[in-house]
Structure 1
Amino acid sequence: MNALTWLTSRTAQLSSAQQQRLEQLPVAASLDTTALNQQRMVVVDLETSGLDVKRDELLSIGAVVIENGAIDLAQQFECTLLRENHKVSASVLIHGLAPSAIAAGTEPADALLDFMEFLGSSPLLAFHARFDQRMLSRALKQSLGYRLQHSFFDVADLAPLLCPDASLERAGLDDWIRHFGLQVQQRHNASADALVTAELGLIMLSKARQQQLDSLLALQQRLNQWSRRPRKHSF
């Protein structure tokens, strides 16, 4: 059995077909010196029932691939998860997922297996990635017994690091969209948000190369240094 799926028997009841798919998932790739314009990354955005990472549920996943220095529109993923007894909350005004869409969604184990097969061994990119990472990790553990170990990069960290002149260190996605003059079809739609995040990601990767950071390993090392820098305090 794949070492990353050892929790399965404890936390999830899977069919034999689902178990076989789970065991065939590739191991997450380690960060290395692969040139950025040759790196495959999966840009992901999640819609959830709320912002509580311990209680709220993952409702939909949107993802697109950056590969060979471009967004590959032939590699896109979109899925709404079936959630039984889902209760409508104020979050529907944000994500726009009607109860009928959730009731017609894909069974969670299959939806998550589909996504992990799409992801493969690639690292992930998201905006405010810590939330997406925690929500996705929890959903995978609950439905598949799978422990997510893929690397996550956060555009919300990369942008102020690589674009210091923008003076937008604590900015949101909409702020960076406006700063670079990007267009988004529909905010708070997982696929549309993943696509505009991918556009921002391409800009960040270009700026990283300009600053002699030509691999995800080098970029992670610079991020680690940047996060430990002394912060200016205003009084």
Structure 2
Amino acid sequence: MLKNLIKKYKIRKLKDKSFLYLFDEPPKNEFICLDCETTGLNPKKDEILSIGAVMIKDNKIIIRKNFNIFLKSSINTNEESIKIHQIRPIDLENATEPSDAIFKLLEFIGSRPIIGYYIKFDVSIISKYTKELIGIKLPNETIEVSSMYYKTKKRSSEYEFVDLKFDTIMKELDIPELGKHDALNDAIMTSMIFLKLKDKTPAKTTFYTN
């Protein structure tokens, strides 16, 4: 009931009705795994530098169905931030205008659920752009792989610590490591985490209303 009310509210707020496809019934057994590299960790003031995404269909990662793009940024990258995201000014010389990149991303995602590692951050920072461009935040349902992993861990009590670091999950699940701090590679590795965990625990989706 609440979910339907939120959906109707967002459709009313949509500036451009050509994006109504975002609210379509998702294709069966299809997901988009997504990762963003950003100038920082504050969605309100930081910007996206690159987005990588890959499609999962029928329990297979469709590598040829990938999305990989650099975005122009108004924030100058400094030495400290480069150490984190490893994106240099030269990498952004032929970057895409943010509006064009976001429109292409929305077309790639469609109405499919979005998978990620701490996906709430990625959705929040993408939504900063979509709110300005089409009037609403990203409406897709999301699946958090760290939550899936957490549910597979046997604990002696509810207070027992579970290490949810990305590297720890990768090692525990015996997933090969691709190049780090590359949005597409991170999306592919997260896809592998999802597929490893999918049969161990139901992939509960979270519908973000903010």
Q: Could you state the TM-score of these two structures normalised by the residue count of structure 1?
A: 0.73
Per-residue CA distance 1:53-94 (angstroms, 9 max, x = gap): 211111110001111111111211100101245342522112
- The CA distance in 2 between the partners of 1:53 and 1:24, in whole Å, is 23
| Map of 1:185 onto structure 2 | 178
2:68–2:184 CA contact under 8 A, matched in 1: yes
Inter-partner Cα distance in structure 2 for 1:145 and 1:102: 27
The yes-or-no answer on 1:41 pairing with 2:38 is no
**Superposition deviation, residue 4 in structure 1:** 3.9
Residue number in structure 2 paired with 1:164? 153
Does the Cα contact within 8 Å between 1:129 and 1:152 map onto a contact in 2? Answer: yes
Q: 1:207 aligns with which of 188, 200, 203?
A: 200
CA gap 1:4/1:101 in 2 versus in 1, 3 angstroms: farther
Q: Is 1:47–1:95's contact at 8 Å kept on the other side of the alignment?
A: yes
C-alpha displacement at 1:146, in angstroms? 3.8
What secondary structure does 1:178 align onto? helix
Correspondence 1:125 to 2:115: yes
Contact 1:50–1:91 (Cα < 8 Å) also in 2: yes
Distance 1:56 1:173 in 2: 22
Q: Pairwise CA RMSD of aligned residues?
A: 2.7
Structure 2 residue 23 is matched with structure 1 residue 28: yes
C-alpha contact (below 8 Å) 2:11/2:20 kept by paired residues: no
- Report % sequence identity: 25
| Aligned AA (1:172) | K
Which consecutive unaligned segments of at least 5 residues does structure 2 have? 1-9
How many aligned residue pairs are there?
194
Q: Is the 8 A contact 1:29 1:123 kept in 2?
A: no
Verify the 8 A CA contact 1:5 1:145 in the aligned structure 2.
no
Question: Aligned partners of 1:134, 1:85: CA distance in 2, in Å?
Answer: 18
- Equivalents in 2 of 1:120, 1:201: separation in Å? 20
Residue 77 in 1 paired to residue 67 in 2? yes
Between 1:75-84 and 1:189-198, the stretch displaced more is: 75-84
Determine the C-alpha separation between the residues in 1 that align with 2:76 and 2:133. 16
| 1:173 paired residue number | 166
Q: Residue by residue, what CA displacement relative to the aligned partner does 1:208-231 show, whole Å, maximum 9, x if unpaired?
A: 3xxxx4xx5xx349xxxxxxxxxx
**Hey, what's the Cα distance between the residues in 1 that align with 2:176 and 2:74?**
35
1:130-172 Cα distance to aligned partner (Å, 9 max, x none)? 11111111122234434311011111111111x2138873411
Matched residues in 2 for 1:29 and 1:150: separation? 10
